[in-house]
Chain A
Amino acid sequence: EDQVTQSPEALRLQEGESSSLNCSYTVSGLRGLFWYRQDPGKGPEFLFTLYSAGEEKEKERLKATLTKKESFLHITAPKPEDSATYLCAVHILTGGGNKLTFGTGTQLKVEL
């Protein structure tokens, strides 16, 4: 069965303290791996898509990487506004439809 596991469940950082979030997956027929950010009371907001092992993408203080079994979201010198829940999701082959399987997320809190 397809599985996506995120760790840690929660992470508390001081402003400027860099860290990484992990997303490990066991799926067949991976089409893409997505990272989303979700703020309280809102729907997830797209951050990155990675398609193949070795691929990396960056946006401001965030950098996402992908291997054959896991993805990392690196946060460099985080600020309080980076506090949110970060979700990873995999898109798998289901006959052409658009189905994402999500992990349960990492709740990030960045303090001054």
Chain B
Amino acid sequence: KAGVTQTPRYLIKTRGQQVTLSCSPISGHRSVSWYQQTPGQGLQFLFEYFSETQRNKGNFPGRFSGRQFSNSRSEMNVSTLELGDSALYLCASSSRGGDEKLFFGSGTQLSVL
């Protein structure tokens, strides 16, 4: 069974640009969550989607958005990039959400110059 796949693996962007990251969950999983990981803050919750609906949202500005498609694949978008957005963005999936374990992808390393 294939794991969680995130693309691209690395991205370099400049301030003011926008970026779209992609996540393909484990087959059959309907919940997809996104986390931002930085050395200073650790992992911080961005949002969670379940069956194409955003179910939870973290404390991030509106520049961060996401969506989920009918096949459970998810994308997150960051508009008007800032230097502080440089981070590892991790996607995680689970079969139904709730208090079960998450399966993480290897992440997309975003560098904003």
Q: Does A10 contact B (CB under 8 A)?
A: no
Pairwise interchain contact A46-B103, C-beta atoms closer than 8 A: yes
B48 close to A98 (CB less than 8 A): yes
Q: Is the CB of A44 within 8 A of B104?
A: yes
**Is A99 positioned at the interface, with any CB of B under 8 Å from its CB?**
yes
A102 touches B48 (CB 8 A): no
Residues of chain B lying within 8 A (CB to CB) of residue A31:
98-99
| Main SS at interface, chain B | strand
Q: Does residue A83 face the partner (Cβ distance < 8 Å to B)? A: no
Query: In which size bucket is the chain B interface?
Result: 20 to 34
Compute how far the CA of A91 lies from the CA of B44 in the bound complex, rounded to whole angstroms.
Answer: 13
How many A residues have CB within 8 A of the partner chain?
27
Interface residues of B (CB under 8 A from A): 4, 31, 33, 35, 41-45, 48, 50, 55-56, 58, 90, 92, 94, 97-107
Can you name 20 A-B pairs with beta carbons within 8 Å?
A31-B98, A36-B104, A42-B107, A46-B102, A87-B42, A95-B55, A97-B48, A97-B56, A98-B31, A98-B33, A98-B48, A98-B55, A98-B56, A98-B99, A98-B102, A99-B33, A99-B56, A102-B35, A102-B42, A103-B42
